[in-house]
């Protein structure tokens, strides 16, 4: 039975190497994901790659009854906003907010990770109340930007679907639907690659630009 751990190891390496699809957004449509057994209520950790020249647009959006989170471009910079109103008043949190230092709309692929109520991977020795809980955003092209708060957003409740490339509302005239490419969309808490949209309002896959024509 010594082969089983090796097999499982190879399986894990193989699975994590699979890249998710690339979607090409035209600024008029979004896609939604609603995976089964997918819990993003209190904690979530998304990772995706995008490129765009757009100044203002929505990359990712999800909501609950009172709470919501949104990753968007405004003025060419990335913003991650979590709104978490506390009906019980003082002492609670009301959300969190992060903004990139640099503009990201220069048509280069950036990798962005956003996370809320994530257990700090660097402190597994801490348990219970001493456990470090983090919320933040990291952005990487050639250099990495890290924006992290050691904060717990209490009572956070957000459900699927996860909206990519828009929020489906079409009411905000400033923050529009996204125009550009988004690829390899993942959620690490549930260990899932977003592949098949549960709703697609007209967003095709990206056209590969750098492959050879068949002979
Ligand atoms: C989702 O996860 C939270 C903890 O993060 C847990 O309290 C809740 O019961 C879970 N919901 C479901 C439907 O499993
Ligand atoms: C776009 O901006 C990023 C980060 O500032 C930089 O690393 C990259 O080289 C830029 N790309 C181009 C084509 O200028």
**Long-range contact pairs involving 192-196 (C-beta distance under 8 Å, separation at least 24):** 192/35, 192/38, 193/18, 193/19, 193/20, 194/20, 194/33, 194/35, 194/162, 194/164, 195/20, 195/21
Q: Has residue 199 got a pLDDT over 90?
A: yes
Tens digits of residue pLDDT in 109-126: 999 999 999 987 666 666
Q: What is the mean pLDDT of the chain?
A: 86
> Is 207 inside any structural domain?
no
For a ligand 2 pocket test, name from 77, 102, 112, 141 the mutation site with the most ligand atoms within 8 angstroms of its C-beta.
141
On the question of a cis peptide bond just before residue 138, with omega within 30 degrees of 0, the verdict is: no
Domain count, the chain: 1
Ligand 1, CB within 6 Å, residue ranges: 39, 41-43
Tens digits of residue pLDDT in 82-96: 999 876 555 556 899
> Is 168 inside any structural domain?
yes
Domain span at residue 29? 20-200
Identify the CATH number of the domain in which residue 131 sits: 2.60.120.200
Instruction: Please give the full DSSP string across 74-94, using - where no structure is assigned.
Output: ETTEEEEEEE---TT-TTS--
> What pTM, to 2 d.p., does this model score?
0.86
> Is 119 inside any structural domain?
yes
In degrees and rounded to multiples of 5, residue 59 shows phi and psi of -95, -50
Distance 4 CA to ligand 2 centre (A): 44
> Is 116 inside any structural domain?
yes
């Amino acid at each position: 039975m010594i082969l089983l751990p090796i097999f499982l190891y190879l399986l894990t390496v193989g699975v994590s190497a699979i890249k998710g699809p690339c979607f090409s957004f035209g600024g008029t449509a979004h896609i939604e994901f609603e995976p089964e057994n997918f819990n993003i209520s209190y904690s979530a950790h998304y990772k995706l790659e995008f490129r765009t020249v757009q100044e203002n647009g929505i990359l990712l959006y999800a909501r609950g009854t009172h709470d919501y989170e949104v990753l968007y471009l405004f003025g060419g910079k990335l913003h991650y906003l979590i709104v978490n109103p506390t009906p019980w008043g003082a002492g609670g949190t009301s959300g969190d907010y992060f903004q990139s230092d640099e503009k990201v709309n220069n048509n280069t692929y950036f990798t962005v990770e956003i996370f809320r109520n994530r257990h700090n991977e660097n402190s597994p020795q801490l348990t219970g109340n001493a456990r470090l809980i983090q919320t933040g955003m990291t952005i990487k092209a050639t250099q990495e930007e890290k924006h992290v708060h050691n904060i717990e957003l209490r009572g956070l409740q957000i459900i699927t679907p996860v909206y990519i490339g828009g929020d489906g509302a079409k009411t905000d005239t400033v923050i529009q639907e996204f125009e550009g490419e988004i690829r390899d969309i993942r959620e690490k808490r549930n260990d899932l690659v977003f592949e098949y949209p549960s709703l697609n309002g007209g967003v095709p896959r990206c056209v590969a630009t750098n492959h050879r024509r068949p002979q």
